[in-house]
Structure 1
Amino acid sequence: EQDVSTCVGKLHTLAPVLETSCVTGEGMDLLRKMLFSLPKRRRHENKVKRPFEFLVEDVFNVPGVGAVVSGFVNAGELTVGSSCHVYVGPNDDGTFMKTVAKSAHIARINTTYVTSGQSACLAFALNKEMRKKLRRGMVVLKESPTSTREFNAEICVLKGEGTTIRRSY
């Protein structure tokens, strides 16, 4: 048990090997203890207070429902319904479509509430023209966004080999 806590504390330098048996179950208690003591990769509970941000991973057209997107709630929380206005985009021209999030599903179960850290599907009230504009890589935001196509930056290259950096790189 002390070895497990030592290994968890040094995961950045150690690759622990645990001896287990699927037949007798020997070592499974240490494996469980090790897995449950691992740190979380991301702390999405810290992102709940941020503005809603949903990353679109796939787009569907479901008969009888309409436009449905699946993806990941990266930040914030959303309660769906007739008064739930969201912005989907950006489109090719950098604009966002204002629409209503009609319903939500998590693991194929209908829900009215999604929060950061969850994978979900959202159904939108979109006409055919707007539906055609939906694509992977878009975001769904609760607040009205602004987007930009280009910007100026000062870049300082400290060390580089084999690549020539020139204007419009």
Structure 2
Amino acid sequence: MSSDPSDWKEQAFAAYLAQQKRNEAAERRRLAERGEISFELLLSEYDDLAGDEVRLELDKISTTLKSESVSYSQTIMALDGADAVGGPLPEYIIVLKTLATPAITALATVVAALILRKPATKARLRIGDVEAEMASFDEIKVALEYAKEYAAKAAEADKAPQPTALEQPKPSE
């Protein structure tokens, strides 16, 4: 009845990964319900997140979003330690109702230019259970427009009149 001592570690790690996936899916659903999307850049493994070059690229995206009056938040990494370096990550949460067509074009232009300069880079958009990776201006623009339409349809569904207690069917006994 002896078993490999590493089996329980593998099982625990597999359970942890499954829980992480469930948590991420639940978070994406919450974002979609609030009319928000997750938009992130998938940088090359050789890109230094703390480096000046990456920070300048992220600043261009943030500046574009601000200039187009798009409400967003950006994930920040903070590290404790004497020599620790933290800073902004290439992850944005964007409020879709503030993302107008000119802002979609401007954001797609800036991100596509970054992808052209760094071919290993891609963009990822997540809304609800839908996830898309994009590597060109057209793909980014189409994905953002789809997200905008998705949010508009969800908002319309929320505005639909809900039956009152008097109008709801009675449960059968």
Q: TM-score range by the shorter chain?
A: under 0.3
TM-score by length of 2: 0.26
Query: Which of 1 and 2 has greater Rg?
Result: 1
TM-score by length of 1: 0.27
Q: Which has the higher contact order (CA 8 A, sep 6+)?
A: 2
